[in-house]
Amino acid sequence: MTNRRDFLKKAGAGTIAAAGAATLAAPAVKAQAPIKWRLQTYAGPALAEHVVKPAIDAFNKAANGEMVIELYTADQLVPTAELFRAMQNGTIDAVQSDDDSMASPTEVTVFGGYFPFASRYSLDVPVLFNQYGLNEIWAEEYEKVGVKHISAGSWDPCHFNTTKPIRSLEDLKGLRLYTFPTAGRFLTQFGVIPVTIPYEDAEVAVQTGELDGMAWSGITEDYTVGWANVTKYFLTNNISGAWIGHFFANMERWNEVPDHLKSLLQLAMNSSHLHRQWWYWGGEASLRVGGGKLELTSIPDAEWAKVEEAAVKFWDEIAAESPTKAKVVEIFKKYNADMAKAGRPYRYG
């Protein structure tokens, strides 16, 4: 027994010594370099501080050196209209934008941004995507073009802030407004002249008279980015209850990310959606009440009903363009019918 114990002691010591020698002899392993992404948002610097930067800062901190996202604001790396192509070809890795203004070559592009009267409240957007099937449609459409649709969220409603008061549909005629492609296409029937310029140029364009205002946002954005300083009036009627925006990524770059960081990205994007939900909702009310810079005007409900009726016809025109568009329009119709049947607080009247 004594000899056996001595043998085991010597064998153990030899094994430990060998292991130690192997450890000492192994070459030094350098820490793996972090994954780096460049993400460009549709938003200018002032707005980006609220609609995306908190989430990116939180992600970078939580990623603990494994991944870093560099944030760029509107038109900083590429013009907004070229965001999709730049992401698709890998010039940039990820994008925060609506489909419409970044000119996505998909069947769902027309529904991004402000699709007229598709939503009444900001909560409509996440419900449409998560419970009514829009997530699956967007994922499929973007996979076809090599892009990962990460998630969708809601922003502010689409109102008009202008240098001239709007109190009737007649007052819309001839107004040169900075707006989104689809919103502009819809509003031309009421005499609006849509103008496309870089986001950061809109304020100066109002000052020089090139624009009469914007049909781009709610009142929170008007104050945040400085547009309330150059316009005088805010129309309380809106053509959409919430802007539909998304986070996207180049598919190859997305696939390179480990699963635990993908989950962290999803959490960060969800936190961004939640941040905007309360920031816009509270801001829209408080700035109407106490903003002090913009005079509120309204078009009577009976007259505004003509715009809502025109939206129904517009939906049918879009639906006739392709089976995918028809499927999305059908979802919008079903959702809004469900909300109307549900009644208060989902729909009034």
Provide the residue count of the chain. Answer: 349
Q: Is the pLDDT of residue 24 over 90?
A: no
54 and 109 co-located in one domain: yes
Mean pLDDT of the chain: 92
Specify the 3-state DSSP secondary structure of 190. helix
pLDDT at 175: 98
189 and 175 co-located in one domain: yes
Q: CB–CB of 169/301 below 8 Å?
A: no
Specify the 3-state DSSP secondary structure of 234. strand
Q: Is the pLDDT of residue 266 over 60?
A: yes
Q: Which amino acid is at 170?
A: E
Q: Is the pLDDT of residue 244 over 50?
A: yes
Q: What percent of the chain has pLDDT over 70?
A: 91
Residue 322 lies in a domain: yes
Q: What are phi and psi of 230, to 5 degrees?
A: -120, -5
Q: At 305, which CATH number?
A: 3.40.190.170
CA distance 76 to 62: 26
85 and 49 co-located in one domain: yes
Residue 12 lies in a domain: no
Mean pLDDT of 84-96: 97
265 and 179 co-located in one domain: no
pLDDT digits (tens, 9 = 90+) for 314-340: 999 999 999 999 999 999 999 999 999
| Domain interval for residue 207 | 158-241+291-342
89 and 204 co-located in one domain: no
138 and 283 co-located in one domain: yes
pLDDT digits (tens, 9 = 90+) for 187-219: 999 999 999 999 999 999 999 999 999 999 999
Residue 182 lies in a domain: yes
51 and 199 co-located in one domain: no
Residue 318 lies in a domain: yes
210 vs 22, residue with greater confidence? 210
203 and 298 co-located in one domain: yes
89 and 232 co-located in one domain: no
pLDDT at 31: 53
193 and 104 co-located in one domain: no
The count of domains in the chain is 2
pLDDT at 348: 81
pLDDT digits (tens, 9 = 90+) for 95-149: 999 999 999 999 999 999 999 999 999 999 999 999 999 999 999 999 999 999 9
pLDDT at 8: 40
140 and 89 co-located in one domain: yes
Q: CB–CB of 87/39 below 8 Å?
A: no
137 and 76 co-located in one domain: yes
